[in-house]
Structure 1
Amino acid sequence: MSKIHSISIGMPVYNGEAHLVQAIESLLGQSFTDFDLIIADNASTDRTDELAVSLAAKDSRIRYYRHETNLGAVANFDFVLKQATGEYFMWAAYDDIWDSHWLERMVKGFETQGVVLSFGKVVAVNETGSTIRDCGTYVFSKDRLQRLIKYFWMEEYSGKACLIYGLFRTSFLNQNKSFVDFNVNNFSDMLFVFHCLNYGTVHIDPSTVFYKRMPPENQGKFSLRTKVLNSVLMMDRIRYYVGHIAEASHVIDKLVIVLLLPLKYVKAVVSNIFRMVVR
């Protein structure tokens, strides 16, 4: 019977050959070694399978799965969680990089009572690994409502989505809504994190860095002008914004979010237009 580790790391991947090896080696080189790495290949058509199999043969902590057909990104995120056996769980993107003490510091975060999510500092990097921007250190209140308001109010491009790559208790994730239930276009990760913040505090350790690879905006599916129009018409965000009302767990929280929605909408439109102009 295979050993059950303290942490299970789930890495969903699709056509990740460009950065997969670097990401996996970044995790295998952690100072905290009691973990297993669950790689779920979403029917990649590049060398992902070859690279993952080769790395798994060298390290028994790696468990590799390959889907015959592409399940979609959200379903693959859910799949790796279902394979987890560790007390703690962390999602890991196949193109990111972590400081060598990341896991060690994240586990220590749970020494504080009431913590549901342990995280560090985010630095955005480009395709070559060069720094794009330092996203700063997130600070969240121990008060539930203040915590929810802070996260809701943060800009969507601020790196707030990265919190989904923090460390959770596996039991907490399994006892709450599945990630596949947060199906709101490209905003599922942020609504999922908002939901989690109902249940406890966030421990932030600014001494360890998560390097999030972010491609240039102009490489996205839509042009920035299209994104601005989508924001103005709320075509791509209406379900996401309204979803916060449903995910807030208390009546007073829901009422506050309702009051903030118009301001959030105006803020997003102005911010996106400004970004388009300065570019």
Structure 2
Amino acid sequence: MKLFLIRHAETEHNVKQACAGATDSGLTNHGVIQIQRLAQYFRDRPVQFTRVFSSDLQRARLTATGLCQQQLGNRSLAPMQTPLLQEQHFGSLEGTRWKPRASTSRNTPSKAEPVTGPSYMEEESEDSMRARATSFLRDYILPLLLGNSPEEEVVAVVAHGIILRVLWKCIADLFDPADIFISPDVDTSGIPPGSPLTPVWSNTGFMELDMRPKPLITASGTLSQPAPPMATFSRWQMVILSVNSRSHLLDLRRTGGGIGSATHDQRQRTLDGFFRTTDSP
């Protein structure tokens, strides 16, 4: 299986540096162009998705829809939406400005809300997000990975920065660390030796994973031993092919005069019309 973990395109909350979380933030004009670039990149590579899953929040849903509409030869492809892939709920901090937290990929609001009071709501816990990510893997990804389809599954998961990080950790936990490999094309200069990979995602950045059973014949030429009954993934390996890939955005410039950062007005041009393409030779 090829698995692409993709973050949604730029939103009005991203531009304002505000916590969106469960807030259904709208795309910017620049974000719409990011989706078109990403979709064209996969179309021209070509990457033909067999399944596309997305959060049901519009910023992820519209990003996933753009990918599907640029796929050549598969007009019936549409994103399967699930609330399991929603971003972390920031509770009472929804909509407040954030700033980078030191030595981590997470973001923290710069204006803290009071921690007491009847209206205060805590942010969603790591355990809650992990439970959602585990349910998504169990219900949607593992049946495809462990199924008997004669064709390789090529799956896109379009979601949000924090929940993607949690989902990645849940995926990595399925494998023996010795069976997780990083492609030489991935820049690992910032990762201390022996430290786990903690990826981050820019808008429309994607992580590409290749998961498949290990060869039956070992390097020494002998048959490998059967796996223990409960060790489902002890016979599998995973290769990390890219982390936060943004090659589709290399020459993209934001439209000036505040136009690029403005919220996209769907009345001017529908997203369906923007992304729709025709098959080309």
Q: What TM-score does the superposition give when structure 2 sets the normalisation length?
A: 0.32
Computing the radius of gyration from Cα coordinates, the structure with the larger value is: 2
Normalising by structure 1, report the TM-score: 0.32
Higher helix fraction (1 or 2): 1
Indicate the structure whose relative CO is greater, using CA pairs within 8 Å and at least 6 residues apart. Answer: 2
